[in-house]
Amino acid sequence: MIYTSSYYSPVGKILIASKNNRLIGLWIEGQKNFPQNLKEKVQNKDSEEILVKTKKWLEKYFNKEKPEITELKLEPIGGEFRKRVWKILCEIPYGKVITYGEIARRVARETNKKSMSAQAIGGAVGHNPISIIIPCHRVVGSNGNLTGYAGGIDKKIKLLELEGVNINNFHLPK
């Protein structure tokens, strides 16, 4: 059984999902890859422990308190490659960004490959099922583009500004 609850945030309505008291999803309403068809029975349950904890985490986050990812039990659903990329995302500190290329080079090193496609990294980042908490909004293009956020560039900008990133150092994709 998958339990869900909604949270109303400064970037819009958020759907939170859990299974076995672990967080499996967090999506901003209308974002790309928004869960249209979860494969199991879904029930709204605002009292589910992990969903309550996630809402408290989000409250702290939007109050600029910088909660730790480790405060929540996460279980994003995906393959080994995507999980490797999502683990790297979890290591990006508040107020910092990393490029798709930097992640690609790191994954290549970790997997003993000569190189890794930044586009493959972009695919994994774009399918992050626990947005905001697994901070995919902290990934930017190597040329300074604020590109590739499933929730929308406007929301990516709001999240980065909330975390203290100087947006003037970046530009919108053309």
**pLDDT 10s digits, 15-70:** 999 999 999 999 998 877 666 556 788 889 999 999 999 999 999 999 999 999 99
Q: Give the model's confidence band at 164: pLDDT under 50 very low, under 70 low, under 90 confident, else very high.
A: very high
Average pLDDT over residues 93-112: 95
Pick the CATH number of 2-71 from 3.40.50.1370, 3.30.830.10, 3.30.160.70, 1.10.1060.10: 3.30.160.70
d(CA 23, CA 133): 10
User: Does the reported pTM lie above 0.75?
Assistant: yes
Residue that the structure tokens 């900008």 belong to = 157
Percent of the chain with pLDDT over 70: 96
Average pLDDT over residues 105-116: 95
pLDDT at 62: 98
Q: Where are the domains of the chain?
A: 2-71, 80-169
What are the C-alpha distances in Å from 71 to residues 22, 81, 98, 106?
11, 24, 23, 26
pLDDT at 173: 73
Average pLDDT over residues 115-142: 93
What are the C-alpha distances in Å from 130 to residues 89, 117, 161, 170?
11, 23, 20, 24
Phi-psi region of 113 (alpha: psi -120 to 50; beta: other; left: phi over 0): beta
Span between the terminal Cα atoms of the chain, in Å: 43
d(CA 76, CA 25): 7
Q: Is 136 noted as a catalytic residue in this protein? A: yes
Q: Identify the architecture of domain 80-169 in CATH.
A: Orthogonal Bundle (1.10)
pLDDT at 151: 82
Other CB atoms within 10 Å distance of the CB of residue 164: 11
Per the DSSP assignment, residues forming a β-bridge with 98 are: 139
pLDDT at position 86 over 60: yes
Distance of CA 104 to the CA centre of its chain: 17
d(CA 145, CA 172): 6
21 neighbors 45 (Cβ within 8 angstroms): no
Residue 48: strand, helix, or coil: coil
Q: Average per-residue pLDDT in the chain?
A: 92
Q: Which helix (H) or strand (E) holds 24?
A: strand 22-28
**Active-site position among 136, 140, 157, 165:** 136
pLDDT at 80: 95
User: What is the Rg, in whole angstroms, of the alpha carbon atoms belonging to the chain?
Assistant: 16
Average pLDDT over residues 69-97: 96
pLDDT at 55: 98
